[in-house]
Amino acid sequence: MYFNDISPGRSESQLRFQLIHFGEARNIAKAGAFLGLELILIDEQGTVMQGFISSNRAETYRPHLKAGATYTLQIFFATRSKEIYRVAD
């Protein structure tokens, strides 16, 4: 399965991708409260997608994340991306 094949909702299909970059997502309106980890992913067809790991699961996965590494997901939840972006320092 590739990113273009994903539809919103729960999926148990196998998805392979490379992690390009990841970093912390914080709520600047609430004193920098930690929201989770933002991920930039690329599949074997060269399609780029954003991923997110919520704060309640971030510490489980953070030690295993490495930019440039290839991962496989078997159970995941997909949603449509929000089209509102803010630029922050």
pLDDT at 79: 86
- Full-model pTM: 0.79
Task: Determine, yes or no, domain membership for 89.
Answer: no
Task: Determine, yes or no, domain membership for 84.
Answer: no
- Using one digit for the tens of pLDDT, what is the confidence trace for 1-28? 899 999 999 999 999 999 999 999 998 8
**pLDDT band at residue 57 under the 50/70/90 scheme:** very high
- Using one digit for the tens of pLDDT, what is the confidence trace for 71-87? 999 988 888 876 655 55
**pLDDT band at residue 89 under the 50/70/90 scheme:** low
How far is residue 37's CA from residue 26's CA, in Å, rounded to a whole number?
Answer: 9
Task: Determine, yes or no, domain membership for 83.
Answer: no
Instruction: Look up the domain containing 29 and give its range.
Output: 3-78
49 contact partners, CB below 8 Å, separation of at least 6: 3, 17, 40, 41, 42, 43
Whether residue 88 has pLDDT greater than 90:
no
Task: Determine, yes or no, domain membership for 38.
Answer: yes
Residue 88: C-alpha distances to residues 28, 49, 54, 85 (Å) = 9, 20, 20, 10
- Number of domains the chain is built from: 1
